[in-house]
Structures are given as C-alpha cells and as structure tokens.
Amino acid sequence: QNKTTKQHKTMIFLLWIFLFILSAGEAFMCALYLLSYSDFEDDEMGTLDIAARLNPFIKLEYALHTFSMFLLLVFGRWGVIILNLPLFIYHLKRFYMKEHIIIARQLYKKLKYLKTESIVKIVVYTVFFFLYFYFMIRDIIRFALDSGNLEEIVEKLGLFK
C-alpha cells in the first residue's frame, strides 16, 4: 500500500507539472492568435493566411484542454475541474456549433470578438498557470512532509542556511 500511495502521489505531481506546462502553451497559443489578428489589422496578413495559420492551433488548443479535463477527471481533482468547466463548456459550444474554425470571409465581422476572446483566454490560461504552479509546489511540500524527508530536501537544496 505504501508503494501504491507513493506512485499515486508521483502521478499527481506529474499531473500538475503537465498541466503547468500545458497552460503556458495554451496562453502562448492565444497570444499568437492576438498577434495574428493585429497583423491582419495592419494589412500584413490576409484572411486566408490567418485562417490557414490559426485553425490548426485552435484545434490543438481545444484538444489539449479536453485532454487536461480528462486527466483532471481521472485523478478526481473536482475543484480544478469546476474552475475549468466554464471554458470547457464554451469550447464545446463553439466546437459543436462549428464556430471554432476561422472562416476567411467572416474574419472582418468577427475580428473584435476574436481579439477580445484571445485576451480573455490569455488571462484565464495565465491564472491556470499560476494555479497549477501553486498545486505543484504545495504537493511537493506535502509529499516531503509525509515522507519525513523535509529536512533532508531543505539541506540538499541549500535553503535556510
């Protein structure tokens, strides 16, 4: 049982690391969207270029967020699932209504909305980034306290000398 508990704790720690990295990537993808929309406004990119450039990233963002929700569900992290739920429902709605794909001829009409959406998503993913970072650090400390190795870890890291 002790080995199983240790493996479970390790998997939870790896979950937080994965979600930490994933949320940073998703925030950067949204920043890429925003920069592309700005390039479009400045006539540096055409509508077809924007659609061809961003649609694969948008699909990737949706897939990664769905996968992260699946992992949170598997590990029973209900509080974090509830925090992710509004964005997940928003993504599901847009996906099933086929609104997630950028259509070149509609870009002029939706540009302001898409820019606002990108800004909001950058903020949301950044909040998730710091939240996952907090959970990762919290679990490192919890695991160290549970194993009784906190003093050893502090000594190896050279903290509090």
Q: How far apart are CA 55 and CA 33, in angstroms?
A: 10
Q: Which range, 1-5, 38-42, 60-64, is most confident?
A: 60-64
Q: How far apart are CA 91 and CA 148, in angstroms?
A: 43
Average pLDDT value over all residues in the chain: 89
Q: Which range, 62-71, 105-114, 148-157, is most confident?
A: 62-71
- What is the pTM (predicted TM-score) of this model? 0.85
| pLDDT of residue 65 exceeding 90 | yes
Q: Which residue has the tokens 């870890």?
A: 153
Decide: 17 and 112 in contact? Cβ < 8 Å.
no
- pLDDT value, residue 3: 64
